[in-house]
């Protein structure tokens, strides 16, 4: 079992900075979690009649286990998320060292069309993400730019009955490989299948072969807090990336377990929204709990 005192965040765009650690101080890459805007329905009884009352809350600020402010969210007068600002405290041994980044959101026809990522600590990691939609408001293409140059794009988003069913599809040799996203009746992603070729001893893909990796997930029955951007499944609104980001963003409820792997433990406020989220990684112990404390604000 690995024991670590603190672990560093993986930058926001995994596709931009894969397997890069901003600090060589730590043994593993870590990624917290966070939340945002939620709609909660309550019932009031009046002469045997129930009236549904809609109450909305936005995630306002997020704190760590030590109650250090690590993320703050800003909204416009239409309650649209326009900025996320993250200040990451690097642990008790590095009290003077902080790492910060911000994400700013631009809108077109009411949907997020661009995300501008500014890494305040390391501007070499600045980038922009452009998002394109079809007439139904479904994401059809994303493009990532760095220093004005396009470095990646994806147009493999596939849908069925308005649900995203895959984001990966490519050919190698005479074989086609893709992923598959499977939902349950509660609109939670319960299974993710990913096809890839077998590899030789040094990691080279072997043409004409195929293996399928299967991941499974479980959930609670509470509403998942969001930032009024539930449609933006390509983006992690929490301050740090975590395992199964895509599957969590696509689901209605809070993921509680990556089967045989990471677990998420929640406590809830009086409105039934997550007030804390603690991450438990398989076979990894930390000196302090990897926990987020979530503060909301009510809106009209």
* The two three-digit tokens of residue 32, written as one number: 């917290």
Tell whether the model's pLDDT for residue 270 goes beyond 50: yes
**Domain count of the fold of the chain:** 1
- Owning domain of residue 54: 2-299
Q: Residue 67 class from Cβ within 10 Å (0-12 exposed, 13-18 middle, 19+ buried)? A: exposed
> CA-CA distance, 296 to 271, in Å (whole number)?
10
Rounded Cα distance between 64 and 278, Å, is 10
pLDDT over threshold 90, residue 201? yes
Strand partners, 190: none
Distance from C-alpha of 96 to C-alpha of 92, rounded to nearest angstrom? 9
pLDDT at residue 33, rounded to an integer: 34
pTM above 0.85, yes or no: no
Average pLDDT of the segment spanning 74-90: 88
Q: Grade residue 92 by pLDDT with cuts at 50, 70 and 90.
A: very low
- Exposed, middle or buried by CB within 10 Å (0-12, 13-18, 19+), for 284? middle
Residue 11 has a pLDDT of 41
Please work out, in degrees rounded to the nearest 5, the angle formed at the alpha carbon of residue 157 by the alpha carbons of 154 and 162: 155
Whether residue 155 is predicted with pLDDT greater than 90 in this model: the reply is yes
């Amino acid at each position: 079992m690995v024991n670590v005192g603190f672990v560093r965040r993986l930058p926001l765009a995994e596709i931009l900075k894969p397997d890069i650690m901003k600090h060589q101080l730590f043994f593993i890459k870590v990624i917290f979690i966070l939340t945002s805007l939620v709609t909660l329905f309550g019932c009031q009884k009046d002469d045997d009649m129930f009236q549904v009352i809609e109450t909305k809350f936005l995630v306002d600020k997020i704190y760590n286990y030590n109650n250090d402010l690590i993320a703050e969210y800003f909204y416009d007068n239409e309650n649209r998320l326009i900025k996320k600002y993250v200040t990451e405290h690097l642990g008790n041994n590095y009290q003077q060292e902080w790492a910060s980044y911000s994400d700013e959101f631009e809108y077109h026809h009411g949907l997020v069309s661009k995300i501008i990522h500014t890494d305040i600590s390391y501007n070499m990691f600045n980038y922009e993400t452009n998002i394109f939609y079809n007439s139904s408001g479904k994401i059809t293409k994303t493009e990532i730019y760095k220093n004005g140059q396009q470095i990646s794009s994806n147009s493999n988003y596939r849908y069925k009955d308005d649900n995203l069913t895959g984001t990966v599809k490519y050919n190698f040799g005479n074989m086609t490989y893709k992923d598959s996203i499977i939902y349950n009746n509660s609109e939670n992603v319960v299974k993710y299948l990913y096809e890839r070729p077998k590899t030789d001893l040094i990691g080279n893909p072997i043409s004409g072969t195929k293996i399928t990796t299967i991941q499974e997930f479980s959930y609670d029955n509470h509403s998942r807090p969001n930032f009024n951007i539930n449609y933006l499944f390509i983006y992690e609104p929490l301050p740090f990336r975590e395992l199964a980001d895509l599957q969590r963003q696509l689901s209605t409820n809070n993921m509680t377990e990556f089967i045989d792997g990471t677990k998420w433990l929640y406590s809830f406020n009086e409105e039934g929204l997550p007030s804390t989220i603690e991450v438990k990684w398989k076979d990894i112990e930390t000196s302090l709990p990897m926990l987020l404390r979530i503060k909301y604000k009510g809106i009209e």
